[in-house]
Structure 1
Amino acid sequence: MSLSEKIFHAGVVGAGGAGFPTHIKTKANTEIVLANGAECEPLIHKDYELMLHFPEKIIRGLELLRESTSAKKAFFGIKEKNQNVIDAITSNISNDRIEITKLGDFYPSGDEYELVYEATGRLIPPAGIPLDVGCIVNNVETLYNIAEAEEGKPVTEKFICVAGAVKNPSSFFVPVGTAFKDILKHVGGITVKDFGLFVGGVMMGDLTFNLDEVVTKTTAGIIVLPKEH
């Protein structure tokens, strides 16, 4: 079974929020592949934790993507301030085909247009996609899932960050389909009376008050904020 077939059967989609079917990207031919580890949403730090604790698997996913697309070069975008993550990733790079791109601490440093330009100097045209300039971009959790798929493991869990007005802010794996109310119990409960949930971040996420909503394959995190915030 080819890598794209394994990824398809594992149900891997873009974990950064877009949910684009990853097997389609692995079928393309391109010059450059990029790992997006910028994570520019305020308070969300699940990609940071993934890179810190699973660097080998993420690099494996990036190499699999590079080989599948016949790309000659790979860039790994990480914020310059996260030196411990840069060290963890760098220590798992075993060849000169992967290069670290240090990014500034600003929003939206993780935008595909920004990342591609910072790493390669190429400008994606308006309304274009990275492939228009010979690039493919994947979030680091997606790369983690590519490596898992290559081992025959389907996507049944999501790594999320829970932050804001909760007793124990943290990042952890949860089964896809877990209700928000159960996740909030897991972190010790909410510390304010009237609140709302930003799902995916305060900048590009969605506001909800429904605790029966569930985690999907694209849920990056849950931020609890007081209603008057």
Structure 2
Amino acid sequence: MPGSELNAIINKIASAGVVGAGGGGFPTAFKLKTGTPIQTVIINGAECEPLLKVDQELMARYPAELLATLATLVQATGAQTGVIALKEKYREAHTALAGEIRNYPGLKLHLLPDVYPVGDEHLLTYSVTGRTIPPGGLPLQAGAVVLNVETLYNIHQALEGHPVTHKYVTVTGAVRQPITARVPVAPRCGNSWPWPAARL
């Protein structure tokens, strides 16, 4: 069973304020702090909302950091494997990850079709593991933990000693130049952005 290594990771994640970055906001430390055996750590890179690009950008730009962090989680939780699931059409992200994953024999890439809602936890867990989550249940009941790509990146930052102070967002639609930006958490918003936004 996982022991001191996982507890140390959980403490760092909790101290850094890492929560689910995919929209749920559930404290990530609680997902990992369980007595139930974890067989598979799944990273959800499906990003089903058609205009969002955050996870795609992170996978393309930080493949080494994401894979190293996933490998750390797999080892600490005692899982059998770690899987990054992303849509097959995300070519740049897939190429970047494929170039690094050969260094991690316990990790896999799982390519998904371009259909909605393939990123749903129930569908994703079944697609990756072949195991079904009970109605109203959680991935853990199928031996899996599912984390968002940005959440995994925030875990990487937490393990490096950096708290969550920023959020990655897609700025698109009726704008001159769509971008993915890193912005401060809980800024004061008005007609313009009075805070610095770093382009990813």
Calculate the TM-score normalised by the size of structure 1: 0.77
Amino acid at match of 1:80: E
Q: Is the 8 Å Cα contact of residues 187 and 195 (structure 2) preserved in structure 1? A: no
Question: Residues of 2 paired with 1:49 and 1:183: CA distance?
Answer: 22
Q: Is the 8 Å Cα contact of residues 58 and 141 (structure 1) preserved in structure 2? A: no
- The SS at the match of 2:172 is strand
Amino acid at match of 1:16: G
**CA apart distance, 1:61:** 2.2
Given candidates 11, 17, 30, the residue that maps to 2:17 is 11
Q: Is the 8 Å Cα contact of residues 56 and 92 (structure 1) preserved in structure 2? A: yes
Report which of the two has the higher share of helix.
2
- Structure 1 residue ranges without an equivalent (≥5): 188-229
Matched, 1:64 2:72: yes
Question: Residues of 2 paired with 1:120 and 1:147: CA distance?
Answer: 25
Given candidates 123, 127, 143, the residue that maps to 2:132 is 123
Question: Residues of 2 paired with 1:179 and 1:106: CA distance?
Answer: 36
Amino acid at match of 1:108: P
**CA apart distance, 1:168:** 1.9
**CA apart distance, 1:183:** 4.1
Question: Residues of 2 paired with 1:58 and 1:145: CA distance?
Answer: 9
Q: Is the 8 Å Cα contact of residues 21 and 148 (structure 2) preserved in structure 1? A: yes
Output aligned runs, 1:134-145, within 5 Å: 134-145=143-154
Matched, 1:75 2:64: no
Given candidates 28, 35, 50, the residue that maps to 1:42 is 50
Q: Is the 8 Å Cα contact of residues 27 and 68 (structure 1) preserved in structure 2? A: no
**CA apart distance, 1:180:** 4.1
Moved over 6 A (4+): 184-187
- The SS at the match of 1:92 is helix
Aligned residues: 187
Q: Is the 8 Å Cα contact of residues 12 and 21 (structure 1) preserved in structure 2? A: yes
- Structure 2 residue ranges without an equivalent (≥5): 1-6
Q: CA RMSD in A?
A: 1.8
Greater gyration radius: 1
Matched, 1:173 2:179: no
State the partner residue of 1:213. Answer: none
State the partner residue of 2:59. Answer: 51
**CA apart distance, 1:26:** 2.3
Identity across matched positions, percent: 44
